[in-house]
Amino acid sequence: GAGVSQSPSNKVTEKGKDVELRCDPISGHTALYWYRQSLGQGLEFLIYFQGNSAPDKSGLPSDRFSAERTGGSVSTLTIQRTQQEDSAVYLCASSLAPRGGQETQYFGPGTRLLVL
Amino acid sequence: EDQVTQSPEALRLQEGESSSLNCSYTVSGLRGLFWYRQDPGKGPEFLFTLYSAGEEKEKERLKATLTKKESFLHITAPKPEDSATYLCAVRNQAGTALIFGKGTTLSVSS
């Protein structure tokens, strides 16, 4: 079956521009996660969606970052007024509804963002 | 504070030379320890989940073990295709995210 898909695969933008990154989770997965992977750093949690519950936004680094999930499926991560330190790989993952926190997260291929 | 530390940062092996990767963790109430493999330019690929001390899981040349403070990923007779970055993670207290270590980059030469 199809895995998690992300688009675009690569994005080059100029400092100060807004960017939108898209994630299509695995069909039937109600939980969706965004992470960021910077050069030399581990994966850093950004935001979590589960069904119709309020998202956990505790990992968003600044108010320039926002995300939404429409219809419980596709998600868009938006970065406003991009800065050079936003350059990283943005990874999306999805899982079945957490029950006791034991659900496996499956990752997409990522979007490589470069801010010039 | 929940934390994951992996060692070594990098490991070079000859084909057939077995070794182990370490993942030390600090978490309030373990809700699963996860191992992923990541190839360059790709997203992490799930390998194993371990839930309780003493648990072991195997897949081909890989075997993961868990104690109360750390996990090991044992690689037996590795092949060049095992070259990748191996990531360890634990679930955070809220159960909403994984906390990752920085990974161990394994290079296996023939």
What is the predicted pLDDT for the residue at A100? Answer: 59
Helix then strand count (H, E) for chain B reads 0, 11
In 3D space, the residue among B16, B21, B19 whose CA is nearest the CA of residue B77 turns out to be: B16
A101 has a pLDDT exceeding 80: no
B40 has a chain A CB within 8 A of its CB: no
What's the pLDDT score for residue A57?
94
Q: How many Cα atoms within 13 Å fall on the side-chain side of residue B36?
A: 26
Predicted local distance difference test score (pLDDT) of residue A42? 85
Residue percentage of chain A with pLDDT more than 90: 80
Q: Do the Cβ atoms of A42 and B103 come within 8 Å?
A: yes
Enumerate the residues of chain A whose CB falls inside 8 A of the CB of residue B36.
107
Query: What is the residue-averaged pLDDT of chain B?
Result: 95
Question: A99: pLDDT confidence band, cut at 50, 70 and 90?
Answer: low
Distance from CA of B1 to the nearest CA of A (A): 15
Rounded Cα distance, A58 and B47, in Å: 27
Q: Measure the CA–CA gap between A70 and A47, rounded to whole angstroms.
A: 15
Residue A3, pLDDT above cutoff 90 = yes
The label of the residue with tokens 């970055």 reads: B85
Largest CA distance in chain A: 43
- pLDDT value at A88 more than 80: yes
Distance from CA of A83 to the nearest CA of B (A): 22
CA distance B53 to B7: 20
pLDDT band per the 50, 70, 90 thresholds, residue A63: very high
Give the tens place of pLDDT for each residue, A12-30. Answer: 999 999 999 999 999 999 9
Say if A41 is an interface residue toward chain B (CB within 8 Å).
yes
Q: How many other C-beta atoms lie within 10 A of the C-beta of residue A94?
A: 26
- Cα B37–B27–B66 angle (5° rounding)? 55
Please indicate if any CB of chain B lies within 8 Å of the CB of A110.
yes
Q: Which of B46, B60, B25 is nearest to A95 (CA)?
A: B46
State whether residue B49 sits within 8 Å of chain A by CB: yes
B19-46 residue pLDDT tens: 999 999 998 888 899 999 999 999 999 9
CA atoms of A14 and B1, how far apart (whole Å): 36
Quick one: average pLDDT of A17-45?
94
Cα distance between residue B13 and residue A29, in whole Å: 38
Instruction: Check if the beta carbon of residue A109 is closer than 8 Å to that of residue A9.
Output: yes
β-pairing verdict for A111-115 and A10-13: parallel
Neighbours of A46 (CB within 10 A): 22
| Residue A33, token pair as written in the block | 């996660």
Instruction: Please judge whether A4 and B43 are an interchain contact, meaning their C-beta atoms are less than 8 angstroms apart.
Output: yes
**What is the predicted pLDDT for the residue at A40?**
76
pLDDT at A10 over 90: yes
A43 and B89: CB-CB below 8 Å? yes
User: Smallest Cα–Cα separation from A3: which of A100, A116, A92?
Assistant: A92
Is the model's pLDDT at B6 over the cut of 80? yes
**Minimal Cα–Cα distance from B103 to chain A, Å?**
7
Q: Does A1 have pLDDT greater than 60?
A: no
Q: pLDDT tens digits, residue range B59-77?
A: 999 999 999 999 999 999 9
Tokens of B56: 């072991």
Q: Which of A102, A108, A109 sits opposite B51 (nearest CB)?
A: A102
Chain A: residue nearest B87 by CA? A42
Of B91, B92, B101, Cβ closest to residue A42 = B101
Comparing CB atoms, the residue among A41, A91, A101 nearest residue B43 is A91
